[in-house]
Amino acid sequence: MIMNNNPIGIFDSGVGGLTVLKEIQKKLPNENIIYLGDTKNFPYGNKNKEDIIKFAIDNMNLLIKKDVKLVIIACGTATSQAIDELRRIFQIPIIGIIEPTIEYVKKQGYDEIGVIATEGTIRSGAWESKLKEMNPRIKVINKACPMLATIAEKGKAQSAEGRAVIKEYMEPFKKNHVNKIILGCTHYPIYEEIIIEELQYDVELINTGVTVAEYLDMYLNRNNLKNTENVKKEEIYLTKPENEFKNIAQNILGEIIDIKAI
Ligand code: DGL
């Protein structure tokens, strides 16, 4: 039985999903949240589909044991390769980062868009095929950014290395003045300012955390699943302890949340 006062489960391979957690906190400040970072298996971006599905199933089971009422896959790599399989296996509602973002792009009526994401996500073609399903005439410019999640996970996004890879990855967008880019990996909002500095023109960086929070709000309302109690709880679990995690979490969320091992 799904109870509306139960927590929302969120998972990612590491710190990236905290950018989604942050937007959910803003939009739905009364929801209890359990976050799971699968640091033991980080990074997901360079692994094959079978591995991603296996990790995602394990994450689902861990969250379901904590009585979550629904699960947010706050990871582009897992959304692009595992969401269909997870929905086949689990009864619980599952929201990924792609569908809510496609809804947003549809509402805006965009006909050209850039997508940056991990190698695995770009290889899956999931963003491009969903965007084209929505609008067959849309022009999609894809760019895999293999280094970004790993650099961010080390807390080095602002370093010279971080800036150098952003410069390289932004080339195809800069050349063509692409001014709407989906941040198709949840680690990427960490680079928002650096990307804007590099492009030097007016650009909309679409943060999937924002579209997910919007969609989740609607979903909870429609299904009468909003938390009605006034006690708010947030927990972060990691499958392997990581030194940098706490600092990065604090930078993203602006608050200290206790981090536990699972
Ligand atoms: N944050 C993830 C994503 O959205 C995964 C990055 C990784 O583990 O490579 O794709």
| pLDDT at position 93 | 97
Indicate if 75 belongs to the active site. Answer: yes
Domains of the chain: 8-96+210-261 (3.40.50.1860), 98-208 (3.40.50.1860)
12 lines ligand 1 (CB under 6 A): yes
Q: β-strands 180-183, 112-117: how paired?
A: parallel
Helix (H) or strand (E) holding 117: strand 112-117
| pLDDT at position 31 | 96
Read off the pLDDT of each residue in 123-141 and give the average, rounded to a whole number: 98
- Catalytic one of 86, 117, 185, 199: 185
38 lines ligand 1 (CB under 6 A): no
Read off the pLDDT of each residue in 54-68 and give the average, rounded to a whole number: 98
* Look-up of token digits 């809804």: 103
- Specify the DSSP class assigned to residue 218: H
Distance between Cα 231 and ligand 1 center (Å): 31
> What pLDDT digit, counting tens, does each position of 134-153 carry?
999 999 999 999 999 999 99
How many Cα atoms are found within 13 Å in the side-chain-facing hemisphere of 68?
A: 27
